[in-house]
Homo-oligomer: A and B are copies of this chain.
Amino acid sequence: MRNLRISQSRIADDLAALSAITDPGRPWTRRAFSPRFDEGRRWLAARFAAAGLAVTTDAGGNLLGRRAGSGALGTILLGSHSDTVPDGGRFDGVAGVVAALEVARMLNEHGLRLRHDLCVADFLAEEVSVFGVSCIGSRAMAGVRPDAWSGLEYQGRSLAQAIRDVGGDPDVSAKADDVKAFFELHIEQGLVLQNAATDLGLVTAIAGITRIEVTLTGRPDHAGTTPMDLRADALVAGAGLVTDIAAEAGRLAQLGSHFTATVGEFSITPGAANVVPGSVRLLIDARAVERPRIEGFIAWLQARLGQLPKGITAAHQILSDNPPTPMDPGLIALSEGAADRLGASRIRMASGAGHDAAFIARIAPAAMIFVPSLDGRSHCPEEFSEISDIALGAEVMAEAILAFDAQG
């Protein structure tokens, strides 16, 4: 065990306490805007206060704990989110909130005064919420939460009201204007660090996500009476397309930067045992940290849709298209230096998942530190990261913050 200033036991205690706040019978579930979430927030607010932080909720519904600096240099922001997916894990988001809290505590404990203000954040609703949208708090802090979202409703409550209910104010701008640097520790949610037997990942960029819906239409015929050579089977056409998408994605992934393409939704109609499938709907999720890869993939897909079997027609539409977000090279370098001084092995890597950092990066230099996920599992009860890895990541984050504060 390394000799850290960060306390592993405090991190362990905080993670255990938060994971105990879960919907009964569905571990681990603490979805944004639920009573459990409110309960977790109250626990966190008390914990922030106990660490000497000045606790507020901003207009965006983000829970903030502020520690004043000695100069008037602006704020170093650090944090992540405490909400979970349904039946989700104990680490996704939570690890980053607890690590940020522990950094503040460690600085207090060691009498390490910063020139910058330090602000620990629990961003509101990073996961896809009951309102169907995600990163609600970090979008607000970046000034890019769409106004139209206020009118979204779930079980008779509007998102605007739900933001009020957590202490925010949807009618007031929550855009932050004094953030000088943002650090987010997060579990990797993938297999890269485990496979590389490396302590930490320093994120170079957060992948952009493009979602493309494809519908293939054939002809729904009687499965018994229609000879094989007279069919226009949409499922067979869709199967060929899925095979080719996987192959093309594999090829693009080998070109050197992060690329994935996944068909995560796939349904057929009419879906009866004795009827040849008449149509197929695919939803493609394509992610890249280099924009030209996405553009190349879309061009490839459009060409591929022109080469369908006889009798099959295609329609497609791009449902959403978000560009990749590079992390700040200066903060990455500071984090690398910190890791090296602390003897933590590290690699640079892309984040295939979206994070609050992708929005905060719009208003400030941002960095992410990944800690390993056991077997890459995430968004499931089995999600697990070692406390020692989280503590090491927090220590590197603290060291990088100290370096930033010294140079700033």
Contacts and interface: CB of A to CB of B under 8 A. Distances in A.
Contact of A353 (B220, B225, B277): B225
Interface in A233-268: 233, 235-236, 238-243, 246, 249-250, 253, 258-268
Nearest to A252: B228
B272 A190 contact: no
Nearest to A251: B228
Nearest to A128: B274
A276 interface: yes
A207 interface: yes
A353 B239 CA distance: 25
Interface string A355-398: 00000000000000000000011111000000000000000000
Contact of A190 (B190, B220, B225, B275): B225
Given A191-B230, A266-B268, A272-B265, A224 B246 contact: no
Contact of A240 (B191, B227, B239): B239
B275 A283 contact: no
Nearest to A282: B235
A352 to B, nearest CB: 3
Is chain A's binding surface mostly helix, strand, loop or mixed?
A: mixed
Contacts of A122: none
Interface of A: 188-192, 195, 207, 209, 211, 220-230, 233, 235-236, 238-243, 246, 249-250, 253, 258-268, 271-277, 283, 285, 287, 351-354, 376-380
Given A190-B225, A224-B352, 8 more contacts: A190-B227, A192-B225, A225-B351, A226-B260, A227-B260, A228-B259, A262-B276, A263-B277
